[in-house]
Amino acid sequence: MAYLDTQLFINGDWRDAADGRTLAVQNPATGQDIGRVAHASRADMDSALAAVERGFEIWRDYTPAARSKIMRKAADLLRERADDIAHLLTQEQGKPLVEAKGETMAAADIIDWFAEEGFRVYGRLVPHRSDLSIRQMVIKDPVGPVAAFTPWNFPINQVVRKIGAGLAAGCSMIVKAPEETPASPAALIRAFQDAGLPEGVLNLLYGDPAEISEYLIASPVIRKITFTGSTPVGKLLASLAGKHMKRVSMELGGHAPVIVCEDGDVDLAVRSVGRAKFRNAGQVCISPTRFLVHNSVKEQFADALAQLAKGVTVGDGLDDATQMGPLANPRRLTAMAEFRDDAIAKGARLLTGGDRIGETGNFFQPTVLTDVPLDARLFNDEPFGPVAGIRGFDRLEEAIAEANRLSFGLAGYAFTRSLASADLLTRRVEVGMLWVNTPASGSGELPFGGIKDSGYGTEGGPEALDNYLNTRAVVVANV
């Protein structure tokens, strides 16, 4: 499918920016411009705020059944259009087509799940202490118009988790989607439009991230902020939201530890976290990054992971043979080389990879380093790329302490055959999501979010809707 220029979506209308500004969109596999995206002006933001305010007054009065019907139709349209949407996503983001289509299909499942979960937004009755004729009620209402800010690494998935929960709860939304990957989230929004979503309920902006976030967060129209991205930016937006007393949920950076115990299944660990490490070229917030492996199996694990990395086919995501696409931009190539050089300078051994591939596009070899010291950047800063670092441990408590050393707390992985070790890991590893003896999975029914500097709130499970609801007490006495 040919790439499309992307417009803003405001009050049910696809439109150019009021002042005509656009930004270039590049294909990271070729480095070539493939289209343009509209750059929102202050006037466009004002139009979106007026639209989302009107949209909320309409959508809040739809029944859960009526909301569900529209959302399910949007999910069906996504599935019908998945092949075309995947081609757009791969062209602008770089990931292989199979991953792009998988992201689109998973988005449809997430919409379906939230469409049904909206039926289960319940209040409750609380008996009065002295007079049963007095009715005490706990009521849950939609919080109001929402401003959602999303990243480029999963341009559909990160938007749909916010839209799914927000719409199911009865909120209207302005989505500020990434300028680097605009066409695929626009295709997601179009599915909701074509499904019959009322005008103004869902709006889409692109432009300067700092300008848009500051303006929307300060607006009295916006009642809640939801953000997925880096921890530093998340902290900045949370402080802005706090200044204006806005509800906030944050899904921020990670630096996921992988603990392979002495009795762990090494082959299972390599298959599970090895493939995950190079998924989306390592540009995944829950990507396994710090590999902590018991010294008795460390060499076995390191050799197997290096062999897996050597076998990964890197190339243009539009090629069916490609297993790993390019990094998002040239800056990421520089960052990967810096992580490599720093680790080696401090004593790490390079087992495989470590270099850029070719001169065209942002391709970097799947890279494995072992004996990485704790003071290396790779064990302290999120690499957000296809670089894995390994170090050994002797006692499980030592590995858990290292897993918890950093301020990140998004995801973690562990491999053990011992129920006692699994129990200790479950209780002690400080992450919002822990997978033991299994690859990561992110279904709509499970909470998705972190703790510590990796954020607060969740974008999955019934708890996700709580972020979009006000809980109120109402007491009615007969007179």
Strand ordering across the sheet containing 411-415 = 349-352, 367-370, 387-393, 288-294, 256-260, 411-415, 433-436
Q: Are strands 387-393 and 367-370 parallel, antiparallel or unpaired?
A: parallel
The catalytically annotated residue of 251, 382, 430, 459 is 251
Pairing of strands 256-260, 288-294: parallel
* Pairing label, strands 146-149, 224-228: parallel
Please indicate whether residue 285 is annotated as part of the active site. Answer: yes
Are residues 251 and 215 in contact, defined by beta-carbon separation less than 8 angstroms?
A: no
Which H or E run contains 228?
strand 224-228
Query: Between the CA of residue 99 and those of 75, 281, 408, 455, what are the distances in Å?
Result: 18, 11, 26, 26
Read off φ and ψ for residue 369, nearest 5 degrees: -120, 145
**402 DSSP assignment:** H
If DSSP codes are grouped into helix, strand and coil, which group holds residue 381? coil
Q: Is 57 a catalytic residue?
A: no
How far apart are the C-alpha atoms of 289 and 108, rounded to whole Å? 29
Instruction: Exactly one of 179, 180, 285, 430 is catalytic; name it.
Output: 285
What's the CA gap between 141 and 150, in Å, rounded? 25
Report the catalytic residues.
Answer: 251, 285
